Amino acid sequence: MIKDLAAREDGPVRVSGWVEKVRDQRYVQFVVLRDESGAVQLVNGGVLREADPENPRSDILLARTTTIAELSHGSFITVTGELQHNERVKLGGVEIQIDTIDVVTQALPETPIAKDSSIDHRLDWRFLDLRRPEQNLVFRIQTTFLHALRQVWIDRDFIEVQTPKLMASASESRAELFEVDYFEGKAYLAQSPQFFKQMAQAAGFGGIFEVGPAFRADPSFTSRHATEFTSVDAELSWIDSHEDVMELHEELIVAGLTAVKEKHGEQIQKLFGIEIEVPERPFPRIPLAEAKEIVKAEGYEVPRADDDMDPEGERRIAAHVKKKYGHDFVFLTDYASSIRPFYHMRHEGDESLTKSYDLIYNGTEISTGAQREHRIDVLEAQAREKGMDPAELGFYLDFFRYGVPPHGGFGMGLARVLMLMLQQSSIREVTYLFRGPTRLLP
């Protein structure tokens, strides 16, 4: 691998990769070669432009010169040569003097995204777009982030589960569900593993987690919405309130960002020009009603009449928290029961508020969490209040007829976290293959 060259001694070496750049000068040729680990400069000092009968290596040199001159961007080649350390070489301090070159696959002369680099066009040719070092780094960061989260869960003795994505009935409502044919009947693509996470609490699993796909039939075209996305979910038993869920959430976020900063901080600074900030615990916590008053006092009144916070309100309260506490995260708590699902537990003495939260990161909501209602009579009443028929929730409500501990959890959008962490303009930039209302390819 190219990343290993700097640690090797000078001598024979063999590398493969994609041609990133060719500089064909009169007496010397340079090729920048990239694999998934980095880039290296190749040098052909034996340039020969026409046959020389007096040179016994004339045919070899001429063929090599011609091959290099005809290389197109993106061609995949294998090269053998002499590795040489050279401090003057900016690209890693090493270069390779070419001996042989084998063109494994020759790319077409011009890539489709060479002249049109708009996001939609790049997504049409995503495999080419992903060759960029920035994109390679995004998914290394994602891997490191998720590994760190898994380590926290495993250290806490959590169990990883994989819940089904085909459901017989809606988990909350059918408003944002994809309906699919299923043999002689209908099924729905899961918009959340919520019910199945809670089943694990009834089964005595205690803490569980899942990283998997979720589906929302939401025709939104914003920078933070997708019809299929990766959801990071956790659920745990034996909690006293949603505060226990927030504490777990904090621990996970800090572990993930710490791992990313330690492993990729230098590359992130180089390719994205930003510093990863690891937040201190505890994260600020502000009741939603208070947050709305704060942004109103600072000149913005949330226009929604449904007791929620709109995107501009999220940006405003995040700016307030950053200024006052120097923090990129804030928990907005105590959402109104009118806008929360029927399974969110409500406050004792105030049925209008739920024991729930949204986590805001750099001005955008990335997660919703709550303590769940575990009392069957209360669950049924709250479902009816929401206009739902308990009979259609039979399999779910059965969980609570045989003893369930107090529990809670959260669901978090992975792409949103990456987008905000790397200060990208859209989740499309940090999703491997994006799915939206008008995109099903590639």
> Can you give the CATH number for the domain in which 249 is found?
3.30.930.10
Residue ranges of the binding site: 172, 216, 365, 368, 372, 413-416
Helix, coil or strand: residue 287: strand
Q: Contact at 8 Å (CB) between 345 and 370?
A: yes
Whole-angstrom Cα distance, residue 11 to residue 74? Answer: 27
Residue ranges of the binding site for L-aspartate: 172, 216, 368, 372
Task: Let me know whether 272 and 299 are in one domain.
Answer: yes
Residue 236 lies inside a defined structural domain of this protein: yes
Whole-angstrom Cα distance, residue 432 to residue 135? Answer: 9
Domain count, the chain: 2
Question: Dihedral, CA atoms, 180, 181, 185, 189, nearest 10 degrees?
Answer: -20
DSSP 310-359: -HHHHHHHHHHHHHHH--SEEEEE--BGGGS-TTBPEETTEEEEESEEEE
Whole-angstrom Cα distance, residue 177 to residue 415? Answer: 20
pLDDT, tens digit only, all 442 positions of the chain? 999 999 999 999 999 999 999 999 999 999 999 999 999 999 999 899 888 888 888 999 999 999 999 999 999 999 999 999 999 999 989 999 999 999 999 999 989 998 899 999 999 999 999 999 999 999 999 999 999 999 999 999 999 999 999 998 765 656 689 999 999 999 999 999 999 999 999 999 999 999 999 999 999 999 999 999 999 999 999 999 999 999 999 999 999 999 999 999 999 999 999 999 999 999 999 999 999 999 999 999 998 766 899 999 999 999 999 999 999 999 999 999 999 999 999 999 999 999 999 999 999 999 999 999 999 999 999 999 999 999 888 899 999 999 999 999 999 999 999 999 999 999 999 999 999 999 999 9
Task: Let me know whether 99 and 69 are in one domain.
Answer: yes
Query: What long-range pairs does 266-273 form, CB within 8 A, spacing at least 24?
Result: 267/137, 268/137, 268/141, 268/422, 271/133, 271/134, 271/137, 272/134, 272/137, 272/422, 272/423
Task: Let me know whether 158 and 212 are in one domain.
Answer: yes
The residue among 210, 246, 250 whose CA lies nearest residue 371 is: 246
The residue among 112, 108, 133 whose CA lies nearest residue 124 is: 112
Whole-angstrom Cα distance, residue 237 to residue 206? Answer: 5
Task: Let me know whether 231 and 375 are in one domain.
Answer: yes
Q: How many residues does the chain have?
A: 442
Residue 128 lies inside a defined structural domain of this protein: yes
Q: What is the CATH number of the domain that holds 78?
A: 2.40.50.140
CA distances from 158 to 5, 13, 161, 193, 256 (A): 40, 46, 10, 16, 17
Residue 308 lies inside a defined structural domain of this protein: yes
Any idea what DSSP says for residue 177? Answer: P
Written as six digits, the tokens of 59 are 């045919």
Q: Is the dihedral of CA 171, 175, 176, 180 positive or negative?
A: positive
Residue 119 lies inside a defined structural domain of this protein: no
Residue ranges of the binding site for ATP: 365, 413-416
Task: Let me know whether 66 and 154 are in one domain.
Answer: no
Residue 436 lies inside a defined structural domain of this protein: no
Range of the domain at 43: 2-105
Find out whether the peptide bond into 303 is cis, omega within 30 degrees of 0. Answer: no
Residue 11, phi-psi category: left (phi > 0), alpha (psi -120 to 50), beta (remainder): left
Task: Let me know whether 331 and 212 are in one domain.
Answer: yes
